[in-house]
Amino acid sequence: MYDSVVPAVASLAGAGDADLVDIVRGCGAAAARAEAVKLAAIVELWERRRRPERARWACDDWDATAAEIGCALNISSGRASGQMDLGLALRDRFPRLGRLLAAGQVPVTLVTTIVFRAALVVDPAVLARLDGVFVDAVRAWGLLSQKKLETAIDAWIERYDPDAVRRLRTGMAGRSFTLGDRDDRTGLTSAFGRLATPDAALLAHRLGVMVSSVCEDDPRTMDQRRADSLGAIAAGSLVLSCRCSTTDCPAAQVDDGRASSFRIGVVADRSALDASPDPQMHGDPTHSQPEPEARQPEPPSEPAAQPDPAPSPAPERRTAAVIPGFGCAIVPAPLLAELIAHGAGVRVLDNIEAITATDGYRPSAALDRFVRARDLTCRFPGCDRAAVFADIDHTQPYPHGATHPAGIKCYCRKHDRQRHCST
Ligand SMILES: [Zn+2]
Ligand SMILES: [Zn+2]
């Protein structure tokens, strides 16, 4: 559709500097126009798919349309749902802004920020007024930093609808606690939020007690001890195990639950676990390799760490694991070794050759464990729900489809229904 303004990459080498600037400008405008057409097409598809009688279904027409759009754009259903919200907001709440996008005069990122910041405005008259203000101001906003842009948008919203800004600020200042950030490094997960002050005081006191309970030979910094104490609290413990190298330290004898709460499910060869803890990781020089057979099984309600089903060919056999109930977060080899060294249970799953087809509908316990460990998450495209909480379903309806590793897979409840639901 936009081939006339989007030249081939191979032609750029022969273009002059001014031509390149024109190409950048033209492609930016073409991209904005394409986004407007894409969002309008998404809204049109949604209008054709929606059926009022299905509005209260657990897997309704919105979910089905989001799945269809997600497949078309190769994005998750959640992101597709966000695209549907954006398209509807430009049609119903900010139509003049939508026309500016369709004219290629404003980037979709800027429009998305405005729509998000104004999400709490509900008065139609205020929306119409803001739509006009934004259209007049938006051309100058493209040069602003993200923070200044948000401030400028909020200033206009506050002028016409102070309650909306107050609601937004109240929401931002409310209690919250979030785990994980896109910038997290492997093996580390960010935690940030706002606690009620009395709760924060309780936590500060508890952490102070726990970090002081280890002996002075514990090699960890105070920051590391506080972080580890939070893990112990999450495991249901109010004590922190000491990591000193002395044999008579009473604090070293206690189990703080940070490792023993996990059970490592081994799909690859057991020798894949023969990595050593990294003494530099936590300043701990004392790890020794445990005997996995001695470990006790852990409660099934705890998250299970599952190793990567594809064994590494590296001679060191430094195999990482993933935690399927926590977004398939990767547990790097040294951290996996440390978990095992400090009490994580180890269970070797049955070899795939030993799992044969059965005549029954329900998979055996061994086959159930193997399929959940293999799939890790719901198999629906873009879905991250953990396989440990999913249903196991036949790819081909039973009895035509065999109850065999090749014939069954994991789907979360919602996508299991969606698979069987005709639109
Ligand atoms: Zn100690
Ligand atoms: Zn799913």
Q: Give the end of a domain, one of 253, 272, 305.
A: 253
Judgement on whether residues 50 and 166 belong to the same structural domain of the protein: yes
User: Domain limits at 340?
Assistant: 263-348
Residue 228 CA to ligand 1 center (angstroms) comes to 15
Q: Are 121 and 94 in contact (CB under 8 A)?
A: no
Q: Is position 314 within any domain? A: yes
Judgement on whether residues 245 and 141 belong to the same structural domain of the protein: no
| pLDDT score of 195 | 84
Ligand with smallest separation from the Cα of 385: 2
| pLDDT score of 312 | 45
| pLDDT score of 270 | 61
Judgement on whether residues 157 and 19 belong to the same structural domain of the protein: yes
Q: Give the end of a domain, one of 348, 367, 392.
A: 348
Ligand with smallest separation from the Cα of 240: 1
Q: Is position 384 within any domain? A: yes
Domain count, the chain: 4
Q: Is position 103 within any domain? A: yes
Q: Is position 184 within any domain? A: no
Q: Is position 376 within any domain? A: yes
Judgement on whether residues 159 and 72 belong to the same structural domain of the protein: yes
Residue 415 CA to ligand 2 center (angstroms) comes to 5
pLDDT in tens, 217-257: 999 999 999 999 999 999 999 999 999 988 889 999 899 99
Residue 287 CA to ligand 1 center (angstroms) comes to 14
Residue 219 CA to ligand 1 center (angstroms) comes to 9
Q: Are 415 and 378 in contact (CB under 8 A)?
A: yes
Judgement on whether residues 41 and 124 belong to the same structural domain of the protein: yes
Judgement on whether residues 292 and 236 belong to the same structural domain of the protein: no
Judgement on whether residues 387 and 342 belong to the same structural domain of the protein: no
| pLDDT score of 33 | 95
Ligand with smallest separation from the Cα of 77: 2
Judgement on whether residues 267 and 240 belong to the same structural domain of the protein: no
> What is the mean pLDDT of each successive set of 10 residues along the chain, which is 423 residues long?
68 89 91 96 93 70 90 90 95 95 92 89 89 88 79 85 64 74 80 83 94 93 95 94 90 90 74 62 44 37 48 52 75 82 79 70 86 86 82 87 88 84 54
Q: Give the end of a domain, one of 319, 348, 377.
A: 348
| pLDDT score of 132 | 92
Residue 217 CA to ligand 1 center (angstroms) comes to 6
| pLDDT score of 21 | 92
Judgement on whether residues 19 and 103 belong to the same structural domain of the protein: yes
Judgement on whether residues 66 and 158 belong to the same structural domain of the protein: yes
* Token pair recorded at residue 185: 């490094």
Q: Is position 1 within any domain? A: no
Judgement on whether residues 293 and 408 belong to the same structural domain of the protein: no
Q: Report every protein residue that has its C-beta within 5 angstroms of ion ligand 1.
A: 215, 242, 244, 249, 252
| pLDDT score of 173 | 63
Residue 331 CA to ligand 1 center (angstroms) comes to 26
Q: Is position 186 within any domain? A: no
Q: Is position 258 within any domain? A: no
